[in-house]
Amino acid sequence: MTAKVNRQWRLAARPVGLIKESDFKLTEQPVPEPGEGEVLVRNLYLSLDPTNRGWCERDTYMPAVKIGDVMRGGTIGVVEQSRNPRFQEGAVVQGLLGWQDYAISDGTGLTALPHNESIPLTAYLGLFGHIGLSAYFGLLDIGKPKAGETLVVSAAAGAVGSLVGQIGKIKGCRVVGIAGGEEKGRWITGELGFDAAIDYKAEPVLDGLKKHCPDGVDVYFENVGGKILDAVLSVINIKARVVLCGLISQYNATEPQPGPYNFGNILIRRARVEGFIVTDYMNRAQEAIADLAKWLAEGKIKYRIDVVEGIEQAPLALNKLFDGSNKGKLIVKF
């Protein structure tokens, strides 16, 4: 790596609707020197996630990124210089190091990744990272599916949704995925083993639910919100659990969005709707990783990644998470 400059994507404006190129500004700076206790990391991979859209606009479970600041983002990188005894030069690390070629870190929130030839680094941004943990803890800890129950998952061909459905199958559920387009439906019912797919672009979701969930819905893993949530709420069973992982249909909204019109069904069906944020589960990561690694080795879990080449693509690539065009975990390769 011979770059002498550090390219940084800085937030230039609060986006309205989908990201525009003018919402970010690519600046160049000299590569910084680490101070005492710090490391210099060269980023290799950047994770793009729906939650990034919220970070650009408003305080959520984290404060909004400030205008002019380097965009927040989860990355994997290699330690190029170290003045921190916890991290050796050459170590591969993971952290919130931002949309930039190089980052300085004092080690806070930085994790050294284990050396394991059989695990590609990108897996730490997916199956063994926040994606796998979201699917695992969201489904098992919040959704508490029981064998024989019907599990519905939205954005079912997405990074999290595709794992949720496969874990649901491992746990003995009937699994129905909602995803847009025939190709996604074929993938989740074919390679991933879902029992059925509902193509929201081809038929009303409620029709699909009535067809494929003859016994109603016991667990709904929600990534989308809006009309899809409304449709599912109309067919939930008594004591159903709705796991709120994401509401991507709303992240680009330019005006306040109503909650589900079938909200009253939560009461009538004595259902539970519960939100979670994966960062709350980081101290239990090893639990999830142990199971996920075992299932991966047994061939019970498959995943795919969608790699975008070049950090210059990052801002507009984020929109792929909202227009239905990405297939698998979205990652930018530096």
29-53 as b/e: b if 16+ CB within 10 A: eebeebeeebbbbbbbbbbbbbbbb
Q: Does 86 bind its own copies (CB under 8 A)?
A: no
> Nearer to its own copies by C-beta: 24 or 220?
220
Q: State which of residues 269, 317, 318, 321 lies at the interface with its own copies (CB under 8 A).
A: 269
> Nearer to its own copies by C-beta: 229 or 331?
229
> Nearer to its own copies by C-beta: 66 or 261?
261
- What's the number of CA atoms in the CB half-sphere (13 Å) around residue 323? 9
Non-local CB neighbours of 305 within 8 Å, separated by 6+ positions: 122, 126, 328, 329, 330, 331
Q: Measure the CA–CA gap between 67 and 76, rounded to whole angstroms.
A: 24
> Nearer to its own copies by C-beta: 12 or 285?
285
Q: List beta partners, residue 42.
A: 78, 102
Q: Does 14 bind its own copies (CB under 8 A)?
A: no
> Nearer to its own copies by C-beta: 214 or 258?
258
> Nearer to its own copies by C-beta: 50 or 145?
50
> Nearer to its own copies by C-beta: 31 or 277?
277
How far apart are CB 3 and its own copies at their closest, in Å? Answer: 37
**Residue corresponding to tokens 């949309």:** 99
Q: Does 308 bind its own copies (CB under 8 A)?
A: no
Stretch that binds its own copies, among 37-45, 105-113, 197-205, 244-252 (CB under 8 A): 244-252
* Rg of the chain on CA atoms, in Å: 20
> Nearer to its own copies by C-beta: 33 or 261?
261
Q: Does 258 bind its own copies (CB under 8 A)?
A: yes
> Nearer to its own copies by C-beta: 250 or 313?
250
Q: Does 30 bind its own copies (CB under 8 A)?
A: no
Q: State which of residues 273, 285, 314, 332 lies at the interface with its own copies (CB under 8 A).
A: 273
Q: State which of residues 98, 260, 315, 328 lies at the interface with its own copies (CB under 8 A).
A: 260
Q: Give the distance, in angstroms, between the CA of residue 135 and the centroid of all CA atoms in the same chain.
A: 9
Q: State which of residues 225, 235, 252, 288 lies at the interface with its own copies (CB under 8 A).
A: 225
Q: Does 268 bind its own copies (CB under 8 A)?
A: yes
Return the H-helix or E-strand segment holding 46.
Answer: strand 39-47
In the range 110-169, which residues lie near its own copies by CB under 8 A? none
Asked whether 199 and 177 are in contact (CB, 8 A), the reply is no
How far apart are CB 233 and its own copies at their closest, in Å? Answer: 9
Dihedral in degrees, nearest 10, Cα atoms 209, 212, 215, 217: -50
Task: Tell me the per-residue interface mask from 39 to 78 with its own copies, x by CB under 8 A, - otherwise.
Answer: ---------------------xx-----------------
Q: Measure the CA–CA gap between 111 and 68, rounded to whole angstroms.
A: 27
Q: Give the distance, in angstroms, between the CA of residue 220 and the centroid of all CA atoms in the same chain.
A: 17
Asked whether 141 and 167 are in contact (CB, 8 A), the reply is no
* CA distances, 159 to each of 88, 156, 219, 242, 253 (Å): 32, 8, 19, 19, 22
Stretch that binds its own copies, among 37-45, 177-185, 258-266, 307-315 (CB under 8 A): 258-266
Q: Does 197 bind its own copies (CB under 8 A)?
A: no
Q: Measure the CA–CA gap between 34 and 30, rounded to whole angstroms.
A: 12
Judged by the rule CB under 8 A, the positions of this chain that interact with its own copies are: 60-61, 225, 244-247, 250, 256-264, 266-277, 280
